[in-house]
Chains A and B, each alone.
Chain A
Amino acid sequence: MTEFKSVVCPICGCLCDDLEITVENNEIVKMKNGCAVCEAKMVYGYKSEERILKPMIRKDGKLVPVTMDEAIHKAAQILVDAKYPLLYGWSSSTNEAQRIGVELAEELGSTLDNCASICHGPSVMATQEIGIPTATLGQIRHRADLIVYWACNPWTSHPRHVERYTAFTEGRFEKSEWKNYMLKLKGETGKKKIEAASKRLGQYSPPPRPQVCMVDAPPKSIQKMGRKMIVVDVRKTKTAEAADYFLQVEPNKDYEIFSALRCLVNDQELDIDKVGGVPVDYLKDVADAMINCEFGAIFFGLGLTQSLGRFRNIEVAIALTRDLNRRTKFVISPMRGHFNVTGANIVFAWQTGYPYAIDFSQGYPQYNPGEFTINDLLRRGDNDATLVISSDPGAHFPKSSMQNMMKHPLITINPDMNAISRLGDVVFPAQWCGIEYSGTAYRMDSVPIPLKKVVEPPPGILNDQELLERILNEVRAIKAQKTEVQTKVKGEVRSAAKTVKKTAKRTKRKVA
């Protein structure tokens, strides 16, 4: 039995690094401190029965196990033959593997994209338009007295975010308010239980909802001293239930609401009295709470990045944060999803200058989301081969994208038989990053944290870095061979042409 302390959880962007793990017979048997999501992967998920144990190649429509060398050669051959391959994934892999990934893309002259493309890529783009006033999570824990979760639900997506970094934590300058929030949650749960019970008894009639306005007026408590939490979302989530104030907005109206808030913060009067279903008077109270806090923090999620307006939504959110900084201290931070999607952006940026949506076809990196992002490429059917690593577009992408992807060879690198691996032509097994091999990952606030290896991987399986290195070497070998053959062929052609000319001359002479 071995015990590991300060193990890092390789699931979400929080990268909680205080797990205590007990390993027996090369199996994780106990885990302390982690959330439910963490437990699902660290204790059960990684032992999945769907684990791929051998590399496979599709032959006559069926996946057949082959040797590692054969699979690597086949994959390299596909990538070299393709005119415009695409490498995608990276967010559940280590920095070390991502570095090799960039080198491989450069060697191939391919496009290179990571999962930010379908989650917080718009946040990155907004940062490029307007910058971002942000802070590490610890800074927010120590100082923030107003926390705004906008279009995200950390209670289910980043379960320990509230507990480790925001409202429930104790910082140097801010006290924890967890007791109040827990009481509130208990109250809400109780209310729901009573409602459900009376519904069963047939005595329940839902309280009449005001037709005009779905939104409750802000309570006085959002102006108080000490920690406050406001949630803005289109539906009442568990996070919203705990919050001091839940501001329910109409879908796809975030841009308008941010704009209205900006006007209010900048002391401008509005001509209209309602924005996105919210009375302007309510927004005035929210703006006041934002101005009057000592240190405010906005966290936003995919509800902003992937709804109407995409990166412009983030841009206006950042613009609001900038305006607020003229009145108080305010920061804003994206709730990055996969544990190392931030790392993918960072590694790509230091090697190429660009965070994602990169194209190497011209021999140098080019960047343009919308042109080189995976779904745009696939929708147009631009690529003629795909390599997917540590990601599952098969489960998440639109049908039109997947149909175009399936027209061409597909290479996958994933630990278990997920949707995309089932579709692959060359299927590689992989180790679980952060469980079976170590490396570095970047937390959602760009803090690097070393992942730990706690169990041994199944025999014969390479980690992402080793596998990519071998594919890269094979690609180089094939390319070198090709140029050799080409020069040879060229030489032969030339000598053949010479002989043809000579014979022609000779015949001419003869004819003469």
Chain B
Amino acid sequence: MAEILVKNGFVVDPTNKIDGEKMDIAIKDGKIVKKVNERKAKIIDASGLTVMAGGVDIHSHIAGAEVNMGRLIRPEDHYKDAVRKTKLTRSGTGYSIPSTFVTGYRYSTMGYTTVMNGSFAPLKAKHVHEELNDIPLLDKGTYPLLGDWWFVLENLAKGDIEECARHVAWMMQSTKGYAIKVVNPGGLESWGFGHNVHSIDDQVPNFCITPREIVRGLIKVDKMLNLPHTIHLHTNNLGQPGNYKTTLDTMRAIEDLSTDGKPVAHITHIQFASFAGDDWGKFRSGADEISKYINAHNHITLDMGQVIFTDTTTMTADGPFEYTLYTLSGHKWVNSDVETEASGGIIPFTYKKNNAVNAIQWSIGLEIALLVKDPWKIFMTTDHPNGGPFMSYPRVLAWLMSKKAREATLKRCHKKAQKKSLLPSIDRELSLYELAIVTRAGTAKALGMPNKGHLGVGADGDVAIFNINPETTDIAKKYKAVRKAFKESVYTIKDGKIVAKDGEVVDNTTPGRTMWVDVKTKQPCIINEEMKRKFREYWSIEYENYPVSDHYVKVSDKLTVEASV
């Protein structure tokens, strides 16, 4: 494999506490090394450019049954954004939910090298892996939805956490997942009969359990199994006015589970969970309350779920939430319940500046990101495609880094939003160093990926080089230039190969790895005939046909962990 030497760039690597130092980065055999043979290596002159590790996205819906259904129902969204075949790349379509190949290309040309898929129903695990195989140039992982799985509900209701942990371990292996995803715990099961839970202490119908118990139980399971990532939580009452209280309740309910000061849960797309006000008319931001709590506690990490003013497609496993959205919008609505496991919904949605609620939502995301003091606690996402497609990340970055950019957008927003927004009172502007945390170093750390998100020796050879000269550019003022720089990386290097240059894919031979966790429990989950019968009763497919066999993963990157049960 070729050796690469990136010379004279301004290196921003928060994991190794390097802040804009001019230095060389050497890559050999797909890994960062101390040095390479300068004569043999390909030299990239990065003088005047910023060098970072490849981006790591912690939550983005890029593959699986739900995502593909979203693709399928929106021809009117695709046909505005057709992507031509080239000698190197496949054709496809874009906008809010790009086709698989285009997803890979577009992420890569933005300097991203790792993307974690937000969720999938375990029954449809093979589908998500088939799609991940068709997303090139990226390392990927995916989170199985386990919060409303009947085995989890039953075992937790019984109080048998160890049995629950063994089942979760089996599921992690069987579906080749990376982390436990919990969506509206208890709500998805209730949605089976068209109901929902409204607080963390509501009883889940037909199961003697509450959302509080589910979340606490799964955090304990996550710890027992030693999983690299915490549970990945989408809270109850998401998208409802006044839900910041539920979010705070959830966070308080798990405070005691963090013993070593480490996070125990990642609350995803926090913007959608930080609404205050009693109804849509009195809708306001709950950012202040949420960020105050986060600043005082260390057991939670967050990602933004920032809203972009554009036409997009919302999709989540939270079936009842999508139903509410349907009753509000009357737009085309997909609901897809999955037996014994989950539900799901899709609604196309346009966020408008002149809509007070949408504009306040836009403000909430940025407010929390800026009010939370420690960048290691909140990461940048748009919950692609829920808040907006991932191609809009550069715009979010510009808003984070420049008050001027925020003001420029805010002044075009609905009057009510302008009045209610906390943004004018916030002067903070993220530095490049902080930006590298919220887009790569922090996410990699939260995901438990020691080889990603930084440029230390031994890390993966994933590097992104951007056209920003921190010495000469005043980022906060020149936000448009920054936006442009993050839109198209000068170089993206994946596993020691230059895959994209100046916004174009130049090497399409890297399929990217699929990362999954193989949990070794001391006592494996016993699958006897009795158990198989139960599987058959619960699901409509046979036990033997349920697991994702190895050939479904093109390039497997197995992480073996030893569980304590």
Task: Kindly list chain B residues whose C-beta atoms are within 8 Å of the C-beta of A442.
Answer: 127
Task: Report the nearest B residue to A360, measured CB to CB.
Answer: B91
Q: A364 touching B73 by the CB < 8 A rule?
A: no
State whether the Cβ of B48 lies closer than 8 Å to any Cβ in chain A.
Answer: no
Q: How far is the CB of A176 from chain B (nearest CB, A)?
A: 12
Q: A131 touching B332 by the CB < 8 A rule?
A: yes
Residue-wise, chain A 108-135 has the 8 Å CB interface mask toward B (1 for contact) of 0000000000000000100111111111
CB-contact partner of A135 in B82, B98, B101, B336, under 8 A? B336
Given contacts A17-B545, A351-B100, contact A322 B130 (CB under 8 A): no
Q: B541 touching A133 by the CB < 8 A rule?
A: no
Task: Kindly list chain A residues whose C-beta atoms are within 8 Å of the C-beta of B338.
Answer: 135-136, 139
Please measure, in the bound complex, the distance between the C-alpha atom of A6 and the C-alpha atom of B92, giving whole angstroms.
37
Please measure, in the bound complex, the distance between the C-alpha atom of A8 and the C-alpha atom of B545, giving whole angstroms.
9
State whether the Cβ of A326 lies closer than 8 Å to any Cβ in chain B.
Answer: yes
Given contacts A127-B334, A173-B206, A325-B194, contact A367 B339 (CB under 8 A): no
Q: B193 touching A294 by the CB < 8 A rule?
A: yes
Please measure, in the bound complex, the distance between the C-alpha atom of A172 and the C-alpha atom of B534, giving whole angstroms.
11
Q: Which of A137, A165, A345, A354 has the most CB of B within 10 A?
A: A354
Task: Report the nearest A residue to B75, measured CB to CB.
Answer: A367
Given contacts A106-B85, A136-B337, A440-B126, contact A127 B72 (CB under 8 A): yes
Please measure, in the bound complex, the distance between the C-alpha atom of A467 and the C-alpha atom of B432, giving whole angstroms.
52
Q: B337 touching A128 by the CB < 8 A rule?
A: no
The A interface is mostly helix, strand or loop, or mixed, namely: mixed
State whether the Cβ of A336 lies closer than 8 Å to any Cβ in chain B.
Answer: no
State whether the Cβ of A306 lies closer than 8 Å to any Cβ in chain B.
Answer: no
Task: Report the nearest A residue to B333, measured CB to CB.
Answer: A131
Please measure, in the bound complex, the distance between the C-alpha atom of A141 and the C-alpha atom of B84, giving whole angstroms.
44
Please measure, in the bound complex, the distance between the C-alpha atom of A165 and the C-alpha atom of B541, giving whole angstroms.
11
Please measure, in the bound complex, the distance between the C-alpha atom of A352 and the C-alpha atom of B82, giving whole angstroms.
9
Q: How far is the CB of B64 from chain A (nearest CB, A)?
A: 9
Give the size of the chain A interface in residues (CB under 8 angstroms): 62
CB-contact partner of B82 in A106, A141, A172, A365, under 8 A? A365
Q: A364 touching B72 by the CB < 8 A rule?
A: no
Given contacts A133-B334, A139-B337, A365-B93, contact A446 B124 (CB under 8 A): yes
Q: A364 touching B83 by the CB < 8 A rule?
A: yes
Please measure, in the bound complex, the distance between the C-alpha atom of A322 and the C-alpha atom of B92, giving whole angstroms.
32
Q: A131 touching B541 by the CB < 8 A rule?
A: no
CB-contact partner of B540 in A106, A138, A325, under 8 A? A138
Which of the 9-residue segments A183-191, A387-395, A447-455 touches chain B?
A: A447-455
Q: A351 touching B539 by the CB < 8 A rule?
A: no
CB-contact partner of A106 in B90, B98, B334, under 8 A? B90
Task: Kindly list chain A residues whose C-beta atoms are within 8 Å of the C-beta of B98.
Answer: 353
Q: How far is the CB of B2 from chain A (nearest CB, A)?
A: 26
Residue-wise, chain A 150-173 has the 8 Å CB interface mask toward B (1 for contact) of 000000000000001100000011
Residue-wise, chain B 95-119 has the 8 Å CB interface mask toward A (1 for contact) of 0011111000000000000000000
Q: A134 touching B92 by the CB < 8 A rule?
A: no
Given contacts A325-B323, A328-B194, A449-B545, contact A106 B91 (CB under 8 A): yes
Within 8 A of B (CB), among A324-382: 325-326, 328-329, 331, 345-347, 349-355, 360, 362-367
Q: A136 touching B92 by the CB < 8 A rule?
A: no
Q: A143 touching B192 by the CB < 8 A rule?
A: yes
State whether the Cβ of A99 lies closer than 8 Å to any Cβ in chain B.
Answer: yes
CB-contact partner of A364 in B93, B540, B552, under 8 A? B93
Q: B123 touching A143 by the CB < 8 A rule?
A: no
Q: How far is the CB of A298 from chain B (nearest CB, A)?
A: 13
The B interface is mostly helix, strand or loop, or mixed, namely: mixed
Within 8 A of A (CB), among B56-72: 63, 65, 68-69, 71-72
Q: How far is the CB of A52 from chain B (nearest CB, A)?
A: 28
Please measure, in the bound complex, the distance between the C-alpha atom of A389 and the C-alpha atom of B509, giving whole angstroms.
29
Please measure, in the bound complex, the distance between the C-alpha atom of A448 and the C-alpha atom of B175, giving whole angstroms.
12
State whether the Cβ of A312 lies closer than 8 Å to any Cβ in chain B.
Answer: no
CB-contact partner of B126 in A134, A137, A450, under 8 A? A450
CB-contact partner of B75 in A128, A133, A165, A329, under 8 A? A128
CB-contact partner of B73 in A131, A172, A294, under 8 A? A131
Give the size of the chain B interface in residues (CB under 8 angstroms): 64
Task: Kindly list chain A residues whose C-beta atoms are within 8 Å of the C-beta of B539.
Answer: 138
Q: A322 touching B333 by the CB < 8 A rule?
A: yes
Q: A346 touching B193 by the CB < 8 A rule?
A: no
Task: Report the nearest A residue to B547, measured CB to CB.
Answer: A450
Within 8 A of B (CB), among A255-288: none
Task: Report the nearest B residue to A164, measured CB to CB.
Answer: B540
State whether the Cβ of A18 lies closer than 8 Å to any Cβ in chain B.
Answer: yes
CB-contact partner of B99 in A346, A352, A448, under 8 A? A352
Q: Which of B68, B72, B346 has the most CB of A within 10 A?
A: B72
Task: Kindly list chain A residues whose C-beta atoms are within 8 Å of the C-beta of B123.
Answer: 136, 138, 447
Q: A366 touching B79 by the CB < 8 A rule?
A: yes
State whether the Cβ of A216 lies closer than 8 Å to any Cβ in chain B.
Answer: no
Q: How far is the CB of A472 from chain B (nearest CB, A)?
A: 13
Task: Kindly list chain B residues whose C-beta atoms are within 8 Å of the C-beta of A127.
Answer: 72-73, 334
Task: Kindly list chain A residues whose C-beta atoms are within 8 Å of the C-beta of B130.
Answer: 95, 347, 350, 440, 448
Q: A6 touching B545 by the CB < 8 A rule?
A: yes
Task: Kindly list chain A residues whose C-beta atoms are within 8 Å of the C-beta of B311.
Answer: none
Q: Which of A172, A350, A351 has the most CB of B within 10 A?
A: A350
Task: Kindly list chain A residues whose C-beta atoms are within 8 Å of the C-beta of B125.
Answer: 448
Q: How far is the CB of A24 from chain B (nearest CB, A)?
A: 22
Please measure, in the bound complex, the distance between the C-alpha atom of A433 and the C-alpha atom of B356, giving whole angstroms.
55
Please measure, in the bound complex, the distance between the C-alpha atom of A366 and the C-alpha atom of B85, giving whole angstroms.
13
Residue-wise, chain B 319-360 has the 8 Å CB interface mask toward A (1 for contact) of 000010011000111111111100000110000000000000
CB-contact partner of A350 in B84, B99, B206, B536, under 8 A? B99
Given contacts A325-B323, A364-B82, A364-B93, contact A135 B337 (CB under 8 A): yes
Task: Report the nearest A residue to B195, measured CB to CB.
Answer: A329
State whether the Cβ of B295 lies closer than 8 Å to any Cβ in chain A.
Answer: no
Task: Kindly list chain B residues whose C-beta atoms are within 8 Å of the C-beta of A422.
Answer: none
Q: A367 touching B79 by the CB < 8 A rule?
A: yes
Q: Which of A137, A139, A294, A353 has the most CB of B within 10 A?
A: A353
Given contacts A322-B326, A440-B130, A446-B124, contact A365 B92 (CB under 8 A): yes
Q: A128 touching B333 by the CB < 8 A rule?
A: no
Task: Kindly list chain A residues whose C-beta atoms are within 8 Å of the C-beta of B339.
Answer: 135-139, 141-142
Task: Report the nearest B residue to A18, measured CB to CB.
Answer: B542
Q: How far is the CB of A308 from chain B (nearest CB, A)?
A: 23
State whether the Cβ of B560 lies closer than 8 Å to any Cβ in chain A.
Answer: no
8 A-B residue pairs with Cβ-Cβ distance under 8 Å, sorted by A, are: A95-B130, A135-B338, A172-B537, A295-B194, A346-B68, A349-B72, A350-B63, A351-B134
Closest 10 pairs (CB-CB, A-B): A138-B339, A329-B194, A353-B93, A131-B332, A135-B337, A138-B540, A133-B335, A448-B126, A364-B82, A6-B542
Sample of 7 more A-B contacts, CB < 8 Å, known A6-B545, A325-B335, A352-B93: A8-B545, A131-B326, A138-B123, A351-B101, A355-B72, A362-B82, A366-B79
